[in-house]
Amino acid sequence: MSEDLQALIDEAVKKALAGDDDAINGIEDRVTRSKAKAALVKAKREQSKAVDENSDSEPSEEQPATDNSENIILKIAKILEDKFSGCIDGEVHSDFIQLKPENWFEIAKFLKEDPDTYFDSLQCNTGFDLGDGMLESRYNLHSMKHLHSIEIRIKVNIDNPDIPSVESIWRVADWFERETYDMFGINFTGHRDLRRILLPEDWDGWPLRKDYEEQETYHGIVVPKVKEGWE
C-alpha cells in the first residue's frame, strides 16, 4: 500500500472516530473504502481496550473511588457509633441506618461537615406510618464529593412524634419537613416555620396516618369521599 493511500485511510479513520461517518463512506474506491472500514473497527477495538484498562487502574482525583452501598452503610454506621455512642437504634441494616431521634441534629451536622462523610445534599425526606403506634422519617443523603449515598431512618411514637429539624443544615429540608408534618403530624422541633404546606392550617388530622378519618365538612363545605372525575 502506497504512503498516500495509507495517509488517506488514516485521515478517514481519524475523522470517523470523531463522529464524521461520511469520511469513510465518501471514499470512492471500494477496496480502499473496505480497508478504511476494517481500520476503523480495529481502532475502535483498541480504544475500548484502553478504556477497560483505565477503569481497572487506581482512580484519579478527578474520579474518586466509590464503594458499594452496603460497604458505605457499614462504614458510616461505624463512624457514627464511634462519634455518637449509642446513637444507632437496633441492628445495622444493609440498606439503611436506623438512628434514635435524640441527637439527630448534631449527627446531621456532622454528616454534612465531616470530610470523611460530607453529605452535602439532602435529596429527599418523607414520612411513613409504620402501624402499631409508630411513625418514621426517612432521609436520603448524597455526597457530591465522595459520590456515595445513604438512607437514615428515625422512628418515633405517635403520641410523642418529635424529631429535631435539619432545615438549618440542609435548607431544602424546609419544605420536606413541612410536608411530612402536614401529612403525618411529625413535629420537627427547631424548624423555623413549621406549618402546613398543602392543607389549610385549621385542617383536622393527618391524612397519611393509618388511623386518619376524613372530616365530613370544612367550613360548611362538604368534603367529597369519592373523587370521581378528578383525573
Domain assignment present for 190: yes
- Cα angle at 64 between 59 and 66, to 5 degrees? 100
- pLDDT one-digit tens code per residue, 181-200: 999 999 999 999 999 999 99
- 185 and 73 fall within a common domain: yes
**Domain range for 154:** 69-221
Domain assignment present for 178: yes
CA–CA separation, 32 and 83 (whole Å):
69
Domain assignment present for 160: yes
Confidence band, pLDDT 50/70/90 cuts, at residue 228: low
- 91 and 142 fall within a common domain: yes
- pLDDT one-digit tens code per residue, 138-171: 999 999 999 999 999 999 999 999 999 999 999 9
CA–CA separation, 169 and 147 (whole Å):
19
Domain assignment present for 229: no
- 217 and 173 fall within a common domain: yes
Beta strands in the chain (DSSP E): 97-99, 121-131, 134-143, 148-157, 162-164, 187-189, 217-218, 221-222
- 114 and 153 fall within a common domain: yes
Domain assignment present for 63: no
Domain assignment present for 114: yes
Domain assignment present for 226: no
- 188 and 132 fall within a common domain: yes
Q: How far is CA 46 from the centre of its chain?
A: 35
Q: Output the pLDDT for position 2.
A: 73
Total domains, the chain = 2
pTM above 0.75, yes or no: no
Mean pLDDT of 57-63: 51
